[in-house]
Amino acid sequence: MNPEYQDLFSPLTLKNGVELKNRLVMAPMTNSSSNPDGTVTDAEVDYYARRSKGVSMVITATTYVIPSGKGFPNEFAADRDAMIPSLSKLAKAIQAQGAKAILQIFHAGKMSPTDLVPGGDVVSASDVPADREGAAKPRPLREEEVEEIIEAFGETTRRAIEAGYDGVEIHGANGYLIQQFFSPHSNLREDRFGGSLEKRMTFPLAIVDKVQSVVAEHADDSFIVGYRFSPEEPETPGITMEETLHLVDVLADKSLDYLHVSLFDFFSKPRRGVEDLEKTRIAHLLETIGERVPLIGVGSIYTAEDAKLAFNTGVPLLALGRELIIDPDWVQKIAEGRESEIITEINKEKQEELVVPDPLWKNIINTPGWFPGV
């Protein structure tokens, strides 16, 4: 191994005492490749297994906690106990390659397509539609329904424990329900779940508390709990960098094992809400978090040099998404001193060799600008 990349392969001990073998993680990415009944397919299992050998931890595509939270066609389910054998199959495939298996859990809220949820009943914090063509006007959740969803996050965590996962990641990013409650754009409520910044944090923090209480009851200390967030929203009003730093400051004291920022570009800078707009979002986050909890950074890290520059910012963990689809051996190539052989553009002729399921492959090939080489 080239010594300048050695730090990427140093172990990291999480707050709960679990040691990660290196600083590289597979990022969660929707693949829309499950069976219609919500069970994982063999193609999906093979896809994950192919990418689990080099990284220390694999965060799965997100899975919904109740039927009204389904966000994608052919998304695998974790909303009922009947799904535990399916979930277990995926966890074992990841772990067999030497990585920790983390199940990402969510509710899509107003991002759910009407044809995927029971009765077309799309719900959210308030009746503000998603900013996309043909989006349904969501029904504001009643207070007791909000409580039921909090419970559902706990139940899905229990299923993850019973299925043998090493942890769960609470998906509070990318415009889904947890973010919808935190956002002043989509949360216009006047009850205890809306209004001030503190009240808009009630739902996200209640989910963290519920998940942690279930872990305390059903798992041992080695079970990992992480939380993913998006730093800003483009809307006005919308989540600002300042509000996210406030949320992150609170989350950093919640005994989570890691925080995970969702970024398209690791080195992106804030839109607004902080004095220094020239300092990267990652730098602002690290400054706020300090040593309290590890942060996973992500976003367009294609080469070993990209990874080194990102890691040198002080971020403890790096997630790789598109990079591991383009080159499943990305991590091993650096470990073996073959970083010059890393492939950074998708080869449209090599779907089979790359072990990518058909639905995901079609999405990649038909979405210009998403992947280099398309």
Residues with catalytic function: 176
Backbone φ, ψ for residue 293 (5° rounding): -155, 140
* C-alpha–C-alpha distance, residues 161 and 55, integer Å: 21
Residue 10, classed as helix, strand or coil, is coil
Structure tokens at 324: 């591991």
* C-alpha–C-alpha distance, residues 23 and 55, integer Å: 8
Residue recorded with tokens 């080469």:
303
* Bond from prior residue into 237 cis (ω within 30 degrees of 0): yes
**Whose CA is closest to 207, among 247, 142, 157, 161?**
157
Instruction: Work out the angle between the directed axes of helices 143-162 and 84-95 (0-180°, nearest 10).
Output: 50
* C-alpha–C-alpha distance, residues 108 and 285, integer Å: 25
